[in-house]
Amino acid sequence: MEMLSGAEMVVRALQDEGVEYIFGYPGGSVLHIYDALFQQDSVSHILVRHEQAATHAADGYARATGKPGVVMVTSGPGATNAITGLATAFMDSIPMVVLSGQVRSDWIGDDAFQETDMIGVSRPVVKHSFMVRDAKDIPEIMKKAFYIATTGRPGPVLVDIPKDQTAPNVKNPYEYPKKVKMRSYAPVSRGHSGQIRKALDELMKAKRPVIYAGGGVVQGEGSELLTQLAHRLNFPVTNTLMGLGGFPGTDRQNVGMLGMHGTYEANMTMHSSDVILAVGARLDDRVTNNVKKFCPGAKIIHIDIDPATISKNIMAHIPIVGPVQQVLEEMLAALDEHGGEPDRKALERWWEEIDGWRKVHGMRYETNEDGPMKPQQVVQALYKATKGDAYVTSDVGQHQMFAAQYYQYDKPRRWINSGGLGTMGFGLPAAMGVQFAFPEATVACVTGEGSIQMNIQELSTCLQYGLPVKVININNQALGMVRQWQDMQYGGRHSQSYMESLPDFVKLAESYGHVGMKITKIEDLDGAMEEAFALKDRLVFMDIYVDPTEHVYPMQIADGSMRDMWLSKTERT
C-alpha cells in the first residue's frame, strides 16, 4: 500500500473526492498541507483575503453546483474567522467541508500560539466535527466528513487537524475507503408510502390548496418534479426566500415569495388556504408571523428530510420525512395510479380569488419624477440587462429583499443568498464561488454600501483570478433595513444607521484593478447596465445611488397573521 504523510493524505483524499477548488488561507498549522497542495495540480487552491470569505466562496460554489464546498484555514484566528461562514452554511443546510489546522497535539490545552478549541467553538454551527488524533485515521475521517456533509440534511462538517498529524516525515498506509458505514448515522432515504398516499388524498380533496416550496426543493434537486406536480394539479405555488427558482418565477402559477416581505397574493393565498403542501421548508418565523394566527383553516402536509424540522414551529397534520426528490417522485407516481382529478371547479374559483389579489395589490412602488431612483428600478434593470438568466448573489438587507422580489428566477440555484443567518458580507465571496464553478456564466452580486464593505477586500481575490463578477452596489447611503425599522418602530430615530464617509467606490474598484461606474440618474441606468455586462472579462463595480428613504413592502405586521401586512408607508391590510 502507498505510504503517505498526513498532509499528503489530506490532499489525496480531496483528489479522491473529486474536489476542484479549495478556498483558503495559509498559516503555521497548515503549512505541511499547503506544501502537499503545492506539489500537485488537480485540486486548485484559491487564496482569499480573509477566511470568512473562503467559507462564503465555498458556500456559493456549493449552492450553485450542489457539490460540497471545501475550505482550509489555519488554527486560531484563521479558524475563528471561518465561524460566520460555518454558521451561514449551517442555517441554510449547505454541504461544506472545512479543514482547520490545529496546534501540535502535545500543545493542545496549553494556550499555545494560535490555539483555539475549534471543535468547541464551532460545535453549535456544524453538522458534525472531527479531530484527527492519529494520522492513520485521516482517510476514514475525510470520507466520513464528505459523506456527512452531503447526505441527509446537508450541512458543514469541520475537520480539525493538529500540525503533528500532518508531519511530512511520518508516513502511513493510504487507502481511501470506498464506502462509509456508521451505525449512528443513517439518513432517511425514503418517505413513508402510506403517508404519501394520505397526503395525495388530501390534495385531491383540497378546495383552496397551495404549495409552499422552500430551499429543500432547490438543494434536494426537486425543482423539476415539483414543477410537474404543480402543473398536473394546477395549484398555486409560493417560494420561500431560500426556495426562489425552485419553481419558475415567471410561471403563471407562481404567486411570488411569501413571508415577511412576501407578495400580497402569496401571503393572502397562504392565509386563506385549506391545504398547504410544505416542501423542503422550515415554517420559520420569517414566514409564519405569529404562529398562533398562522393559516387558521389549513391542513398542513410537510415534506422534509429532517424530522426535527417537522412540527417544530407549526404542527403538521401529515408529516412525511424523506428526501424531497424521492417523495415527489413517489407522489407523482401515486397520482398516476390514483387516476383521479383534483377538484377543478373549486380550483377555478380559487384562482379567480388569487387573480383578484394579484390585480389589487401586485408588487409595486412609486417612482420619483425628478428625485433619486428607486432601488427596485435597479433590480428591474439588472433583470432586463441579464435577460433573467444570471446567477444572482446578494448580501443582506433591503437590497436582498428587492433582489428577491423584482428578479424572477426561473431556474434553481440561480438565487444565492444567506437566508437563515442573514450574513452581511456574504454576497461578493459567494459570487466568486459561483464564478469559479461556472466561469462563462453571468454572475451579479446585488449588494449595498453597508454589506459590501464587510468583505470588500475580496476585490483583490477577484483580480488575482480574473473573476468578471458584476457588483451591483445599491447605494442608499444608509443601512436601509435598519433604517426602515427605525422609521416604522422607533419614531424615525436613525440610531447608527447612517453611513458617513463612504469611500469613492469607483476609485476603490479601480485601485483594485477593476472597472468602476457611478450612476446617479435613472436615464443612465439601462445604458450603464448594458455597458457593464458587455465587459465579459472584467469585474465591474456599479455604484448606483438610490433613494435613501425607500422601504421594502409588503411587510408583515409583527405578531399578526400572514395576511396582516403593510403594503406601503400608508396602506395596510
Partner 1 sequence: MRRIISILMENEPGALSRVIGLFSQRGYNIETLSVAPTEDSTLSRLTLTTFGNDLKIEQITKHLNKLIEVVKLVDLTEGPHIERELMLIKVKATGAQRAEVKRSVDIFRGQIVDVTSTVYTIQLTGASDKLDAFIGAIGETQVLEVVRSGVSGIARGEKVLSL
Interface residues with partner 1 (CB under 8 A) are: 119-120, 123-124, 127-129, 131, 133, 148, 182-185, 306-308, 311-312
Q: In residues, how long is the chain? A: 573
Q: Which is nearer to partner 1, 312 or 569 (CB)?
A: 312
Residue 326, C-alpha cell as written in the block: 424521492
Residue 86, C-alpha cell as written in the block: 460555518
| Active-site residue, from 481, 517, 542, 555 | 481
Q: Which is nearer to partner 1, 251 or 306 (CB)?
A: 306
Least spacing, CB of residue 308 vs partner 1, in Å: 4
Q: Which is nearer to partner 1, 128 or 538 (CB)?
A: 128
Q: Is 202 a catalytic residue?
A: no
How far apart (Å, rounded) are the C-alpha atoms in residues 457 and 446? 17
Q: Which is nearer to partner 1, 303 or 354 (CB)?
A: 303
Nearest alpha-carbon partner for 469 in 544, 363, 381, 386: 386
Residues 6+ apart with CB under 8 A from 364: none
| Active-site residue, from 114, 195, 380, 457 | 114
3-state SS string over 354-386? Answer: HHHHHHHHCCCCCCCCCCCECHHHHHHHHHHHC
Least spacing, CB of residue 24 vs partner 1, in Å: 24
SS3 493: coil
Least spacing, CB of residue 52 vs partner 1, in Å: 22
Q: Which is nearer to partner 1, 48 or 126 (CB)?
A: 126
Q: Is 556 a catalytic residue?
A: no
Phi/psi for 421 (5° steps) reads -85, -30
H helix intervals, 2-108: 6-16, 31-38, 51-65, 77-81, 83-91
The answer to whether the CB of 253 falls within 8 A of the CB of 230 is yes
Nearest alpha-carbon partner for 312 in 297, 294, 326: 294
Burial degree of 69 (CB within 10 A; 0-12, 13-18, 19+): buried
Q: Where are the beta strands (DSSP E) in 362-462?
A: 391-394, 415-416, 443-448
Nearest alpha-carbon partner for 306 in 152, 196, 149: 152
Least spacing, CB of residue 254 vs partner 1, in Å: 32
How many degrees, rounded to 5, is the angle at CA 341 between CA 300 and CA 239?
Answer: 40
Burial degree of 313 (CB within 10 A; 0-12, 13-18, 19+): middle
Least spacing, CB of residue 420 vs partner 1, in Å: 15
HSE-CB of 550 using CA atoms within 13 angstroms: 28
How far apart (Å, rounded) are the C-alpha atoms in residues 501 and 488? 26
Element housing 279 (H / E): strand 275-279
Q: Which is nearer to partner 1, 89 or 517 (CB)?
A: 89
The answer to whether the CB of 512 falls within 8 A of the CB of 463 is yes
Least spacing, CB of residue 438 vs partner 1, in Å: 32
How far apart (Å, rounded) are the C-alpha atoms in residues 164 and 143? 21
Least spacing, CB of residue 115 vs partner 1, in Å: 17
Q: Is 113 a catalytic residue?
A: yes
Q: Which is nearer to partner 1, 150 or 253 (CB)?
A: 150
| Active-site residue, from 8, 9, 23, 51 | 51
Q: Which is nearer to partner 1, 160 or 547 (CB)?
A: 160
How many degrees, rounded to 5, is the angle at CA 521 between CA 517 and CA 524?
Answer: 65
Q: Which is nearer to partner 1, 129 or 326 (CB)?
A: 129
Q: Is 51 a catalytic residue?
A: yes
Peptide bond before 187: cis, by omega within 30 degrees of 0?
A: no
| Active-site residue, from 3, 113, 175, 337 | 113
Least spacing, CB of residue 393 vs partner 1, in Å: 29
Least spacing, CB of residue 185 vs partner 1, in Å: 5
Query: Pairing relation of β-strands 171-174 and 2-5?
Result: antiparallel
SS3 494: coil
Q: Which residues are catalytic?
A: 51, 113-114, 163, 481
